[in-house]
Amino acid sequence: MTRGTFVLPTGIGRRWDGAMPGAEIPPHMSAWVTSSTGDLRLVTMEVPRPTGHDVLLRVRACGVCRTDLHVIDAEIPPHRSPLVPGHQIVGEVVDGGADAVRFRPGALVGVAWLGRTCGACTWCLSGRENLCKSATFTGWDRDGGFAPYAVADERFSYALPASTDAVATAPLLCAGIIGYRALSRTRLPAGGDLGIYGFGSSGHLTAAVAMASGARVFAMTRGEENRALARAVGATFVGSEHERPPVPLDAAIVFAPAGELVQDALAATAPGGTVVLAGIHMTDIPAMTYDDHLFRERDLRTVTANTREDGAAFLRLAEHLALRAHVTRYPFARTADAVDDLRAGRASGSLVIDMAVGE
């Protein structure tokens, strides 16, 4: 096996010969889709049919991520329109394509942002499939989880215990995984001081992981709700988004998509420290000076998606730590409200669409 290559767990060794007994899959469903005006529209569409290695999931919960907002608002180039967003999916397998052999009917699985890669390029073969130029993404290239049903490649899905709390787990599938990858790229020393710029879904989960390892967290974020959450989870220092922390940071992660924060993070970081930019989109970064921001071996790094190994490792760690997201639930009928609340900063922590909750 090439070092770093992801290996699937042993499957059940059978091919699907029809939908899960008793699944009662309807021909049509309501789904939230993107529009040219930047709003979500509720439409009726056909329930997708799985082919190849795809499995059909009955969605139990789907997180609402900042990346979904970038897709809806076309802050990143649209890959499809209209499109069903949503890439933090927990669902139950109810059908499978001709090559789907990994999951039993009724299995609970998680679906993340990385939807599929070529598996043959230099990046894929060296354990860096997140950089694959042919990669496709859930809720960007293919329809996601803002719907009662979704399809996903079984090879890029995560097996979850039957006892999994779907709502609590959904934010872990992107906010958690990306935060985990960003934290790993900071090279934070044991017991170090970590700055977090933007204390939303990823920020508060990453803080919990960092503090569990002995780090001190310094949270710089907008909105009193986010600052209150940072205090509640035990941050050593909580300030406004541009506030200077009281000590030099060993490392910092910028989750907020605001380019001007890059200057702040670098200026607050000690010599030899690292600043990691964790978002898929960021506004333009203002000009920096070499002496103030980069000199004395400060490193500036980025995160691009995640590998399946990132996801598997983080989910194991989350289980070990009993990691829990601070969640605001929304019924499916209020999906557009959840997106608006995220856009306006009216909710803190993780926003999740709970299919089991009525209006």
pLDDT tier, 2 (very low <50, low <70, confident <90, very high otherwise): very low
Q: Enumerate residues 6+ apart whose C-beta is below 8 A from 122.
A: none
Residues 122-143 have pLDDT tens digits of 999 999 999 999 999 999 999 9
- Residue 119, sorted as left (phi over 0), alpha (psi -120 to 50) or beta, turns out to be left
> Which structure tokens are listed for 274?
């690292």
**Cα-based distances in Å from 233 to 3, 204, 212:** 37, 7, 11
Q: Which one, of 109, 17, 7, lies nearest residue 62 by Cα?
A: 109
Mark whether 99 and 77 lie in a shared domain.
yes
Q: What is the mean pLDDT of the chain?
A: 92
> Are 246 and 147 members of one domain?
no
Q: What is the mean pLDDT of residues 192-212?
A: 97
pLDDT class of 15 with cuts at 50, 70, 90: low
Instruction: Give me the CATH number covering residue 269.
Output: 3.40.50.720
> Are both 94 and 180 inside the same structural domain?
no
The residue type of 191 is G
Among the residue ranges 23-37, 97-111, 218-232, 247-261, the one predicted with the least confidence is 23-37
Q: In this prediction, what percent of the chain has a pLDDT beyond 70?
A: 93
Structural domain tally of the chain?
A: 2
Q: What angle do CA 138, 309, 100 make, to 5 degrees?
A: 55
Domain that holds residue 150: 28-164+326-354
272 found inside a domain? yes
Residue 10 has pLDDT above 80, yes or no: no
pLDDT, average across residues 50-65: 97
Alpha carbons 69 and 38: distance in angstroms, whole number: 9
Q: For the segment 254-306, what is each residue's pLDDT rounded down to a tens digit?
A: 999 999 999 999 999 999 999 999 999 999 999 998 988 888 999 999 999 99
In this prediction, residue 4 carries a pLDDT of 40
Tens digits of residue pLDDT in 31-56: 999 988 888 999 999 999 999 999 99
Task: Give the per-residue pLDDT at 24.
Answer: 82
* Same domain membership, residue 252 and residue 128: no
44 and 143 co-located in one domain:
yes
Q: Looking at the domain assignment, is residue 126 inside a domain?
A: yes
Token pair 């950089």 is found at 131
Q: Tell whether the model's pLDDT for residue 353 goes beyond 70.
A: yes
Q: What share of the chain is helix, strand, coil (3-state, %, to 5)?
A: 30, 25, 45
| Residue 108 maps to a domain | yes
pLDDT reported for residue 23: 61
Q: Is residue 32 located within the same domain as residue 158?
A: yes
Whether residues 39 and 155 share a domain: the answer is yes
**Cα–Cα distance between 244 and 265 in angstroms, integer?**
9
315 located within any domain? no
Q: Which CATH number fits the domain that encloses residue 344?
A: 3.90.180.10
Q: Output the pTM of the full model.
A: 0.91
What single-letter amino acid sits at 260? E
* Same-domain check for residues 78 and 54: yes
In sequence order, the 6+-apart residues with CB closer than 8 A to the CB of 185 are: 274, 276, 301, 303
> What is the pLDDT at residue 37?
80
More confident residue, 123 or 18: 123
pLDDT at residue number 17: 57
The residue to which tokens 């009724």 are assigned: 106
Q: Are 335 and 351 in contact (CB under 8 A)?
A: no
Q: Is the pLDDT at 8 greater than 50, yes or no?
A: no
Residue 358 has pLDDT above 90, yes or no: no
Whether 209 and 277 map to the same domain: the answer is yes
pLDDT at 20: 56
- Torsion angle of the four alpha carbons 55, 2, 302, 187, in this order, in degrees rounded to the nearest 10: 120
pLDDT of residue 9 exceeding 70: no
The answer to whether residues 209 and 146 belong to one domain is no
Residue 274 lies in a domain: yes
Alpha helices in the chain (DSSP H): 66-72, 122-125, 166-169, 175-186, 201-212, 224-233, 260-268, 308-321, 335-344
**Residues 220 and 96 placed together within one structural domain of the fold:** no
Q: Would you place residue 227 in the very low, low, confident or very high pLDDT band (cuts 50, 70, 90)?
A: very high
- Count Cβ atoms within 10 A of the Cβ of residue 213 and give its class: 0-12 exposed, 13-18 middle, 19 or more buried: middle
pLDDT tens digits along 173-196? 999 999 999 999 999 999 999 999
- Least confident segment among 11-15, 49-53, 80-84: 11-15
